[in-house]
C-alpha cells in the first residue's frame, strides 16, 4: 500500500472516532447470533438476519483438473421494495466459492431465471439492437435489469465469447443455458478473485443486490511458506440499499452538523466520518444496518492464527478495515492484494520478512481484495472488525465509521473448514521478467472527469467520463466499434491516470494486472501487482491534478482481444465512465523479419 494513499484517501482516525467505536464494542451483547427466519429455506436469494453468525459460502472444487457447475441467476423483490439478486448452484447454494488450481478447466452453465419485477421503473433499457434469443455473443446485444452474464474479475483469461467477454454477452430470461468454458492459466497468481454480472447500465443494481461470489486459485502457501497449514476464512463484504433509510443516527454518534444527498439519492460525504452512510454493508450476507450497526459474529479460538481472504464486492462503497482488541488496533499481515501474493515470484529476491506487510488498517476499493494474517483475541478480550471512514471527496458518497463483526473467542470455537496445504511445493520460477524491470514502449495519459448534463441546471444528471488524453470526453457507447486504445500483445506500457473530479475513483482494467509505480507523484516500490487502484480526488486548490502511474502488462497472449477499463464504482461505470482497449496479436517472426528488412531498406534509400 503506498504511504501516501493513507493520507490522501483515508481520513486519520481521531480520539472521537476511537471513543465512538469503543461505545459500539459493547453493543454486541444486545445483538448476539439470531436464528435465520423460519421461512428462509423457501425464499429466493435467502439472507440471514442482522447479528447472525458469519458462515462461509459453500465451496465447489475442481476434480481431476475440471470444475463443472451450473449457476442460476435469480432475483426477488423484498417487502420494503429493495431487490435481491443472486447466483445459486444446481443444489440451491447461494454464491458458492469456486476453488480451482492452475491449469484447471472451468465449465459453468449459466441459466437466467430472473423475473421482470418492474422493468419500467428501472430506467431506460440499453437495447443496442435486440439479439435473437440464445445468440448471446453478438455485435448487438440487449442489456437490461434482468439480463445477465459473468465477469471473472482479475483473471487473465481471453476476452472472448464463452470465456470472459462482457461487451457482447447478454443472457436474457428464457434464453437457452449459456456455457462458459475456459482454462485457468498455468501462471495465474494463486489468490482471491471473484465473479459478478457485468451488464452495462445495470451492473450497480445487480451487484448491490448481492449477485457476486468468490473465486480462489489455490496455492498461495506455495508462494509464501509462512501460510502453510493455516486455517483460512473467506469474507465477502457487500453493500446494499439502506434497510432503515429514514432512521435517525444512533445516539452513540456525535451530532453531524449537516446532512447531504447526492443526485442518486445517496448520503453524500459530509467530511466527519459519521452520519447516515450511502449504503448498508453486509458480511457474508449478514446485514449490518444503519443506524446501530448490530455486528455479525465471528468465532475464533484465543490467539488463533488465521488467513482471512476479504473481498470488497460492493457496488460503490470503499472499505478501510481495522481489527480492535480491547480498544487497540491490531497488526494485520497483508500477504496478497488483488489475488497476487506479496513478493510474487519474479518481483525481487524477497526475504521471508518481505512476504508479509504488517499494517494496522487495510484500504480496499470496490472490487479489490486483500488476504491477510490475523490473530484471535486473547482469552477474556473483546474483538471487533470495523471499517474506518473513507474520505471520498466533496462529490463522493458517505462511507462513515461502522462495525462489521464482533470477534468472539472460545476454546471450543470451530475452526474454518479449510486449511492450506501443510507441506507445499514452491511455485515454479516465472517465465517472464518482473514487470518493474521491463521498459515501457510508450506512456499514455487518461483522466477521470464529470460534467452536468445541463450546465445551466445544477439539478441535472451527472455525466461520467474516462478519457484518453487528446480524445473528446464522452460517455461510453456500447454501440461503438472503435476502441479507445490499441496496444500490441508482447509489450508493456505506462499509463498516467489523473482525477479531474472532486470525488474518489477506483480504476480497474480487465484481463490483466498492473504495477503501481507512483501515487500522487510519490514513487511507490511495491513487490506485488494489482487490478484496481484508487485515484485521489481533486480538491479544487491543487496546482496539478492528482494521479497514479501504473505499468500495464500486455505480454500474456490471453490479453489479445477487446476488453474494457473503467471506474469500479459501478454507478459511474454504468453511466459512462468506461473505455475499451484492443490488444492486437504480436507480429509473427516472419512479419517481424519483413518489418526489419523494410526499415533497413528505407534507411538505405534515405542515405
19: domain CATH number?
A: 2.60.40.420
Q: Flag whether 52 is in a domain.
A: no
Q: Which among 5-9, 272-276, 416-420 has the top mean pLDDT?
A: 416-420
The mean pLDDT value of the chain amounts to 86
pLDDT band, very low/low/confident/very high, at 348 (cuts 50, 70, 90):
low
Say how far apart CA 211 and CA 265 lie, in whole Å. Answer: 22
Q: Which of 151, 183, 218 is the last residue in one of the domains? A: 218
What does the pLDDT average to over 231-238?
A: 97
Pick from 181, 160, 145: nearest CA to 73 = 145
> Grid coordinates representing 126?
440499453
pLDDT of 590 > 80? The answer is no
Q: Flag whether 461 is in a domain.
A: yes
What does the pLDDT average to over 326-340?
A: 94
Q: Flag whether 49 is in a domain.
A: no
Alpha carbon separation from 374 to 116, 125, 217 (Å, rounded): 43, 45, 21
What does the pLDDT average to over 443-455?
A: 92
Instruction: Report the pLDDT value the prediction gives residue 224, as an integer from 0 to 100.
Output: 93
76: β partners: 84
Residues 185 and 315 in one domain: no
pTM given for the model: 0.89
48-75: pLDDT as tens digits: 999 999 999 999 999 999 999 999 999 9
Tell me how crowded residue 245 is: count the other CB atoms within 10 A of its CB. Answer: 14
Instruction: Report the pLDDT value the prediction gives residue 275, as an integer from 0 to 100.
Output: 86
Residues 451 and 526 in one domain: yes
Residues 13 and 84 in one domain: no
Q: Which of 195, 218, 241 is the last residue in one of the domains? A: 218
SS3 79: coil
Domain span holding position 539:
435-589
115-163: pLDDT as tens digits: 987 653 444 444 443 333 445 677 556 788 999 999 999 999 999 999 9
353-379: pLDDT as tens digits: 678 999 999 999 999 999 999 999 999
Angle value at C-alpha 121, between 117 and 123, nearest 5 degrees: 120
In contact, 487 and 583? CB cutoff 8 Å: yes
Residues 529 and 441 in one domain: yes
pLDDT band, very low/low/confident/very high, at 25 (cuts 50, 70, 90):
very low
Q: Flag whether 418 is in a domain.
A: no
- The full DSSP string for 111-139 is EE----S-GGGG---B-SSPPPTT--BSS
Instruction: Report the pLDDT value the prediction gives residue 32, as an integer from 0 to 100.
Output: 39
pLDDT of 318 > 90? The answer is yes
468-512: pLDDT as tens digits: 999 999 999 988 889 999 999 999 999 999 999 999 999 999 999
More confident position, 588 or 87: 87
- Host H or E run for residue 583: strand 578-584
Instruction: Report the pLDDT value the prediction gives residue 476, as an integer from 0 to 100.
Output: 94
SS3 102: coil
More confident position, 22 or 555: 555
What does the pLDDT average to over 216-230?
A: 95
Residues 371 and 239 in one domain: yes
Instruction: Report the pLDDT value the prediction gives residue 180, as an integer from 0 to 100.
Output: 97
Residues 298 and 390 in one domain: yes
Instruction: Report the pLDDT value the prediction gives residue 198, as an integer from 0 to 100.
Output: 96
Say how far apart CA 258 and CA 247 lie, in whole Å. Answer: 15
Residues 325 and 404 in one domain: yes
pLDDT of 347 > 90? The answer is no
489, with CB counted inside 10 A (0-12, 13-18, 19+), is middle
In contact, 537 and 21? CB cutoff 8 Å: no
pLDDT of 190 > 50? The answer is yes
More confident position, 29 or 567: 567
Angle value at C-alpha 287, between 283 and 288, nearest 5 degrees: 90
Residue 87 dihedral angles phi and psi, to the nearest 5°:
-110, 130
Q: Do you find a cis peptide bond into 503, omega within 30 degrees of 0? A: no
What does the pLDDT average to over 226-246?
A: 95
pLDDT of 22 > 50? The answer is no
Instruction: Report the pLDDT value the prediction gives residue 389, as an integer from 0 to 100.
Output: 94
Q: Flag whether 424 is in a domain.
A: no
Pick from 2, 6, 403, 40: nearest CA to 237 = 403
Q: Flag whether 237 is in a domain.
A: yes
- Host H or E run for residue 216: strand 213-217
Q: Flag whether 50 is in a domain.
A: no
Residues 486 and 404 in one domain: no
Instruction: Report the pLDDT value the prediction gives residue 33, as an integer from 0 to 100.
Output: 41
> Grid coordinates representing 15?
480520539
- The b-or-e profile of 434-466 (16+ CB within 10 A means b, else e) is ebbeeeeeeebebbbbbeeeeeeeeeeebbbbb
Residues 153 and 22 in one domain: no
Instruction: Report the pLDDT value the prediction gives residue 455, as an integer from 0 to 100.
Output: 82
Q: Which among 29-33, 42-46, 443-447 has the top mean pLDDT?
A: 443-447
Residues 331 and 358 in one domain: yes
Q: Which of 163, 193, 218 is the last residue in one of the domains? A: 218
Q: Flag whether 340 is in a domain.
A: yes
pLDDT band, very low/low/confident/very high, at 327 (cuts 50, 70, 90):
confident
Least confident range of 122-131, 161-170, 520-529, 546-555: 122-131
Q: What domain count does the chain have? A: 3
516: β partners: 550
pLDDT of 402 > 60? The answer is yes
Instruction: Report the pLDDT value the prediction gives residue 11, as an integer from 0 to 100.
Output: 39
Residues 191 and 326 in one domain: no
Residues 260 and 370 in one domain: yes
pLDDT of 83 > 70? The answer is yes
Q: Long-range CB contacts (< 8 A, 24+ apart) of 131-138?
A: 131/170, 133/172, 133/174, 133/175, 133/176, 134/175, 134/176, 136/161, 136/168, 136/169, 136/170, 136/171, 136/175, 136/178, 137/161, 137/162, 137/165, 137/168, 137/169, 138/168
Say how far apart CA 267 and CA 242 lie, in whole Å. Answer: 10
Amino acid at each position: 500500500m503506498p504511504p501516501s494513499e493513507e493520507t490522501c484517501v483515508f481520513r486519520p482516525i481521531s480520539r472521537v472516532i476511537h471513543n465512538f467505536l469503543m461505545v459500539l464494542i459493547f453493543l454486541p451483547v444486545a445483538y448476539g447470533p439470531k436464528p435465520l427466519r423460519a421461512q428462509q429455506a423457501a425464499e429466493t436469494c435467502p439472507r440471514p438476519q442482522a447479528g447472525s453468525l458469519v458462515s462461509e459460502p459453500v465451496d465447489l472444487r475442481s476434480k481431476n483438473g475440471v470444475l463443472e457447475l451450473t449457476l442460476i441467476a435469480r432475483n426477488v423483490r423484498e417487502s420494503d421494495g429493495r431487490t435481491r439478486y443472486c447466483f445459486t448452484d444446481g443444489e440451491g447454494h447461494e454464491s458458492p466459492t469456486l476453488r480451482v488450481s492452475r491449469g484447471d478447466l472451468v465449465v459453468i452453465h449459466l441459466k437466467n431465471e430472473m423475473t421482470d419485477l418492474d422493468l419500467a421503473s428501472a430506467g431506460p433499457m440499453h437495447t443496442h439492437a435486440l439479439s435473437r434469443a440464445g445468440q448471446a455473443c453478438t455485435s448487438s446485444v440487449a442489456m437490461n435489469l434482468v439480463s445477465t452474464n459473468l465477469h471473472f474479475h482479475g483473471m487473465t483469461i481471453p476476452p472472448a465469447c464463452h470465456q470472459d467477454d462482457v461487451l457482447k454477452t447478454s443472457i436474457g430470461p428464457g434464453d437457452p443455458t449459456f456455457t462458459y468454458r475456459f482454462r485457468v492459466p498455468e501462471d495465474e497468481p494463486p489468490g482471491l478473485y471473484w465473479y459478478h454480472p457485468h451488464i452495462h447500465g445495470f451492473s450497480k443494481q445487480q451487484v448491490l443486490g448481492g449477485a457476486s461470489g468468490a473465486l480462489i486459485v489455490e496455492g498461495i502457501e506455495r508462494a509464501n511458506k509462512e501460510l502453510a497449514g493455516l486455517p483460512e476464512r473467506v469474507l465477502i463484504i457487500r453493500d446494499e440499499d439502506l434497510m432503515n433509510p429514514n432512521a435517525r443516527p444512533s445516539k452513540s454518534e456525535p451530532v453531524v452538523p449537516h446532512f447531504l444527498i447526492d443526485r442518486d439519492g445517496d448520503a453524500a460525504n459530509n467530511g466527519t466520518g459519521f452520519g447516515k452512510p450511502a449504503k448498508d454493508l453486509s458480511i457474508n450476507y449478514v446485514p449490518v444496518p444503519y443506524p446501530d450497526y448490530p455486528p455479525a459474529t465471528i468465532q475464533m479460538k484465543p490467539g488463533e492464527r488465521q488467513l482471512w481472504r476479504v473481498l470488497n464486492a460492493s457496488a460503490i462503497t470503499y472499505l478501510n478495515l481495522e481489527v480492535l482488541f480491547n480498544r487497540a488496533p491490531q497488526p494485520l499481515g497483508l500477504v496478497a492484494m488483488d489475488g497476487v501474493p506479496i513478493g510474487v515470484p519474479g518481483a525481487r529476491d524477497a526475504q521471508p520478512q518481505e512476504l508479509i506487510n504488517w499494517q494496522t488498517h487495510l484500504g480496499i476499493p470496490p472490487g479489490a481484495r486483500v488476504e491477510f494474517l490475523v490473530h484471535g483475541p486473547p482469552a477474556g478480550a473483546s474483538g471487533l472488525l470495523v471499517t474506518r471512514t473513507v474520505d471520498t471527496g466533496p462529490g463522493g458518497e458517505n462511507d462513515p465509521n461502522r462495525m462489521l463483526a464482533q470477534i468472539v473467542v472460545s476454546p471450543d470455537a470451530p475452526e474454518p473448514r479449510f486449511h492450506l496445504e501443510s507441506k507445499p511445493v514452491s511455485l515454479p520460477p516465472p517465465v517472464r521478467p518482473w514487470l518493474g524491470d521491463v521498459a515501457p514502449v510508450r506512456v499514455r495519459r487518461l483522466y477521470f472527469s464529470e460534467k452536468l448534463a445541463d450546465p445551466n441546471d445544477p439539478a441535472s444528471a451527472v455525466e461520467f467520463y474516462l478519457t484518453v488524453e487528446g480524445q473528446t470526453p464522452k460517455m461510453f457507447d456500447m454501440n461503438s466499434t472503435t476502441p479507445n486504445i490499441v496496444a500490441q500483445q508482447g509489450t508493456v506500457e505506462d499509463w498516467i491516470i489523473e482525477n479531474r473530479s472532486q470525488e474518489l475513483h477506483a480504476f480497474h482494467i480487465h484481463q490483466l494486472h498492473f504495477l503501481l509505480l507512483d501515487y500522487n507523484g510519490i514513487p511507490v516500490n511495491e513487490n506485488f501487482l494489482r487490478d484496481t487502484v484508487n485515484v485521489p480526488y481533486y480538491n479544487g486548490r491543487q496546482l496539478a491534478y492528482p494521479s497514479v502511474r501504473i505499468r500495464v502488462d500486455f505480454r500474456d497472449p490471453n490479453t489479445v482481444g477487446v476488453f474494457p477499463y473503467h471506474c469500479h464504482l459501478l454507478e459511474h461505470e454504468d453511466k459512462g465512465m468506461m473505455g475499451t482497449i484492443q490488444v492486437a496479436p504480436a507480429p509473427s517472426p516472419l512479419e517481424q523479419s519483413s518489418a526489419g528488412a523494410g526499415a533497413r531498406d528505407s534507411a538505405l534509400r534515405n542515405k
